[in-house]
Amino acid sequence: MMNLYESGLFFDEMLDGNQPKPHYQSFYHKLHAFSKEQLDEKYQQAQSSFLRQGITFTVYGAQGGTERTMPFDFVPIIIPYEQWKVIEAGMKQRVKALNYFLHDVYHEQSIIEDGLIPRQLIENNPYYYKEMLGVQVPIDNHIFLAGIDLVRDENGIYYVLEDNLRNPSGMSYVFQNRYVMKEVYPEFFSKHTIQSLDKQMAFMKKALLAHRPRCMKPDVEPKAVLLTAGMYNSAYYDHVFLAQQLNIQLVEGHDLVVHENKVFMKTIYGLEQIDIIYRRIDDDFLDPAVFREDSLLGVPHIMAAYEAGNIAILNAVGNGVADDKAMYAYVPDMIRYYLKEEPILNNVKTYHLNDSSQQAWALEHIRELVIKNVSASGGYDMLIGPHASEEEIAKFKEKILDNPYQYIAQPTIKLSRAPAFQDGRFYPCHVDLRVYVMKGEDIYVLPGGLSRVALKEGSLVVNSSQGGGAKDTWILKEESQHAKPSSRCTILDGKI
């Protein structure tokens, strides 16, 4: 096998210097059994598998067609059990606090009254919907599915980078990455005892069905559907996969109708009442009678049925106020306020650019910072200071001065790296991890999640729409750990 590389100044998931870390040794030795030709062949086989199954995403505005197969890299991210236990606990804590926050801002508003979060930050937020004030959502749960993004710095410490609480996508890729790994690289699994994904869809289905509307009879099994924007949506493959795995109908807005504040699905046998909608369209398009009049994707008057307690909509309407990048800075305070606990996982230091002193400091140090639009996602409207041109910096300074509420700044983290094999060679790429948390009566954390990789050499942007790809994520079972985690990834005071 070809040589890899020296880990250098970055924290490397697999290597310490040029040697594998203890939990990667078995994988590393298996890797050495392959020739370059065998690896090239397997790489092509893996890409073909994704293409055959139609595993694609859409890049809006791309030249030469928008449909792309998800780039896949076969070197997995392996996380020892002890580290994962802390991540899992941190995920549950965070989602619990964020759900309390969402319930609070649409009901009692005690966190505002007590002065922990500025009122204008919530009320001026474009994703804070007055229509949700006082609405009782099933089991008081606003977050059915969260996708929380983690990064590691040069010391191997995990930080939460972002909370995705509206319509987090990508869960289907977690399962397909594992499927392709087992199909193309079965040799890697022979000596690893990895937490299985097999029962996770059963947990998701249980969490889904827990959201029975409050007006529903207790002895009736709820009927659920997945509402999609249709085949031209960037995450359509995700929608199809989840509907199939959850064994629920995939519907579009025109398949549903509201009658007497109840929602019905059109079938060849007539109208069938629906109780739970796992919707994968944005709030603005959900109900043309309440939100955007020009929406052809939603269902007229569905909000009236929602407010009447005859339908559950998951995730709840108005969740965007909690995953806004400006609100992110307050999540540790939410954990302390609602749960009376210290955060298990830290945030990245965040500067609010509407604060004049923080803004002045950030503009002076803009070359060391990452500037983000609080409403944007997918790596758009973002400046990475160390890599930006004078022209780009001038443009962003102007944007910040024109609309300071719209931007935050964060230090540039030396994101951890892992080996990738592309174009016949190994090279280091920056990675992050999206962890999926499902909440019903209980909270389930999908073991592993979606490891995203910036396949463009030197890039810090892992989003698939910006040239990123994905890796399989292995969580080792407790009994399979014959070695302690590397000393460079220690657990201190309950934090990683």
Query: Domain total for the chain?
Result: 2
Task: Please give the Cα distance from 49 to 178 (Å, whole number).
Answer: 12
> Is residue 369 domain-resident?
yes
pLDDT at residue number 491? 32
Residue 273, domain extent: 96-142+198-339
pLDDT at residue number 59? 55
* Residues 260 and 323 both lie in one domain: yes
* Residues 254 and 356 both lie in one domain: no
Reduced DSSP (H G I as helix, E B as strand, rest coil) percent helix, strand, coil of the chain, to 5: 35, 25, 40
At 290 the three-state DSSP class reads coil
> Is residue 332 domain-resident?
yes
Among 411, 430, 446, give the residue marking a domain's end. 411
> Is residue 156 domain-resident?
no
Q: Extract long-range pairs of 209-212: CB within 8 Å, 24+ residues apart.
A: 209/276, 209/440, 210/138, 210/139, 210/141, 210/440, 210/441, 211/137, 211/138, 211/139, 211/141, 211/144, 211/276, 211/312, 211/314, 211/440, 212/138, 212/275, 212/276, 212/312
* Residues 253 and 374 both lie in one domain: no
The tens digit of pLDDT for each residue in 219-274 reads 899 999 999 999 888 889 899 999 999 999 999 999 999 999 999 999 999 999 99
pLDDT at residue number 482? 47
Closest by CA position to 329, among listed 355, 354, 348: 348
* Residues 303 and 327 both lie in one domain: yes
* Residues 365 and 278 both lie in one domain: no
Among 339, 361, 394, give the residue marking a domain's end. 339
Rounded to 10 degrees, the C-alpha dihedral 386/392/393/394 comes to 160
135 to 92, 120, 199, 213, 425: CA distances (angstroms): 24, 21, 33, 12, 55
pLDDT at residue number 185? 87
pLDDT at residue number 56? 61
* Residues 258 and 312 both lie in one domain: yes
* Residues 260 and 128 both lie in one domain: yes
| Structure tokens belonging to residue 330 | 């307050």
Task: Please give the Cα distance from 14 to 1 (Å, whole number).
Answer: 16
* Residues 205 and 313 both lie in one domain: yes
Among 411, 434, 452, give the residue marking a domain's end. 411
Q: DSSP secondary structure string, 386-435?
A: GG--HHHHHHHHHHHHH-GGGEEEEE-----EEEEEETTEEEEEEEEEEE
pLDDT at residue number 46? 86
* Residues 274 and 378 both lie in one domain: no
401 to 17, 120, 180, 377, 394: CA distances (angstroms): 44, 19, 48, 21, 11
Task: Please give the Cα distance from 55 to 342 (Å, whole number).
Answer: 40
pLDDT tens digit at each of 496 positions of the chain: 456 777 778 899 999 988 899 999 989 988 888 888 998 898 888 888 887 877 765 555 555 545 666 788 899 999 999 999 999 999 999 999 999 999 999 999 999 999 999 898 899 888 999 999 999 999 999 999 999 999 999 999 999 999 999 999 999 999 999 999 998 888 888 777 899 999 999 999 999 999 999 888 888 999 999 999 998 888 898 999 999 999 999 999 999 999 999 999 999 999 999 999 999 999 999 999 999 999 999 999 999 999 999 999 999 999 999 998 889 999 999 999 999 999 999 999 999 888 889 999 999 999 999 999 887 776 688 998 888 999 999 999 999 999 888 899 999 888 899 999 888 888 999 999 999 999 999 999 999 999 999 888 777 777 665 667 899 999 999 754 444 443 333 333 333 3
**Cis omega before residue 177 (within 30°)?**
no
Compute the radius of gyration of the chain from its Cα atoms. Answer: 23
> Is residue 270 domain-resident?
yes
**Residue 313 near residue 286 (C-beta atoms within 8 A):** yes
Both ends of the chain: CA-CA distance in Å? 33
pLDDT at residue number 485? 41
pLDDT at residue number 410? 92
Task: Please give the Cα distance from 283 to 265 (Å, whole number).
Answer: 20
Rounded to 10 degrees, the C-alpha dihedral 314/318/320/326 comes to -150
* Residues 299 and 400 both lie in one domain: no
* Residues 382 and 257 both lie in one domain: no
pTM > 0.95: no
> Is residue 245 domain-resident?
yes
* Residues 333 and 356 both lie in one domain: no
> Is residue 111 domain-resident?
yes
CATH label of the domain that carries residue 380:
3.30.1490.270
pLDDT at residue number 152? 95
CATH label of the domain that carries residue 133:
3.40.50.11290
> Is residue 364 domain-resident?
yes
Residue type, 60: Y
Task: Please give the Cα distance from 198 to 91 (Å, whole number).
Answer: 21
